Structure 1
């Protein structure tokens, strides 16, 4: 059975997060979300560092189907073109999470609560606060993905999967999510965990 230790998983994820979020951007993101949710900046950073690869992993799972990839590409070509990153302070200063909740509903469906509980368990931040942070992060992640897709001229499902795979450091969406959802508590991500829970986690209802 192929096993990935959670320590190695965490290292890989953190390397990708540091590449994705750096310098003033991550400080602005953390500070803005902290003010809106009431979580401390340390708590916010912990959730953000865990949630972003999870959201990218969920998007990759959706992109594995033709319908899913077409839906994501359509959203990236229209509403989520990356312009949100040009006025991040304005977005973070608003309290409107309708767009983020819509994205999460589309990407996670009725599995959102399970992911929130998993992130809460890993970070020690309440699931209610995690829910708020996810709703604020979702449009930012989509905006970043939209910006990257434009710069790399991504136009089809294969290109989208390659882009998401690159952002995830070559990890599959199932492995990234599995690092959060290690069900048997043995500190390892094995085939039993991935095949058991994730086999239906983002599958068709």
Structure 2
């Protein structure tokens, strides 16, 4: 399992082409948004899964419903465009950070927040479908956090075997309150670190924009 499948691999290529067509934007711009947004989505899900047993169960149930069927019907999905349910998935992923994500991506791309919202709504069920399929195919007993952490770590500079644990520590204070100081450490992987730092409330819009550039730069080449 590898996050590059969702960004620059077969699934990602179809998603980028579909996003560009549905929203009538340049394909290179669509690729940049996809490369920046997908790691944020998976990182947010991973942190949410660690908030409580109830949150983990909720994400687990959601992944059970998204069994990957959408990946075989991406063309039909793009023909329909994003739905209200797709927007709800985005809101569940990012919570109170949803507007921050939209506004930051809009500022970097020159696209409107509405168009960015459309991109996120298109990507959300694809990401969930991919993760749901990976869940079906893995026999790991480590829980949803390990699944999400390993997918996120698959396309990064991180070679750590701690995957979900790294993401849990760095995101524990930046996706929804509590202690505002994200844990720092030399062993934190590049992608996990960047994805977590985007949500750090101590970072201003300029810093968030630089983080998005770095995230996108890992894949949008």
TM-score calculated relative to the size of structure 1: 0.73
Structure 1 ranges of 4+ moved more than 4 A? 184-189
Of 148, 160, 163, which aligns to 1:164? 148
Spell out, residue by residue over 1:107-162, the C-alpha distance to the aligned partner (whole angstroms, 9 max, x if none).
2233311111122234443322111100110000000000000000356xx42111
Cα drift, residue 103 of structure 1: 0.8
Query: Given that residues 17 and 49 in structure 1 are in contact (C-alpha distance below 8 angstroms), is that contact kept between their aligned partners in structure 2?
Result: no
Query: Given that residues 63 and 161 in structure 1 are in contact (C-alpha distance below 8 angstroms), is that contact kept between their aligned partners in structure 2?
Result: yes
1:146 aligned onto 2:132: yes
TM-score calculated relative to the size of structure 2: 0.68
Shift of the 66–96 alpha-carbon distance from structure 1 to 2, 3 Å rule, reads: same
Where 1:39 maps in the other structure, the secondary structure is coil
Which segment is superposed worse, 18-27 or 67-76? 18-27
Instruction: Give the Cα–Cα distance (whole angstroms) in 2 for the partners of residues 23 and 140 of structure 1.
Output: 13
Query: Given that residues 47 and 125 in structure 1 are in contact (C-alpha distance below 8 angstroms), is that contact kept between their aligned partners in structure 2?
Result: no
Match of 2:187 in 1: none
**Aligned residues between the structures:** 171
When you count helix as a share of all residues, which structure comes out higher?
A: 1
Match of 2:12 in 1: 26
1:183 aligned onto 2:204: yes
Query: Given that residues 43 and 125 in structure 1 are in contact (C-alpha distance below 8 angstroms), is that contact kept between their aligned partners in structure 2?
Result: no
Structure number with greater CO (CA < 8 Å, separation at least 6) is: 1
Query: Given that residues 154 and 160 in structure 1 are in contact (C-alpha distance below 8 angstroms), is that contact kept between their aligned partners in structure 2?
Result: no
Quote the RMSD (CA, aligned, Å).
2.5
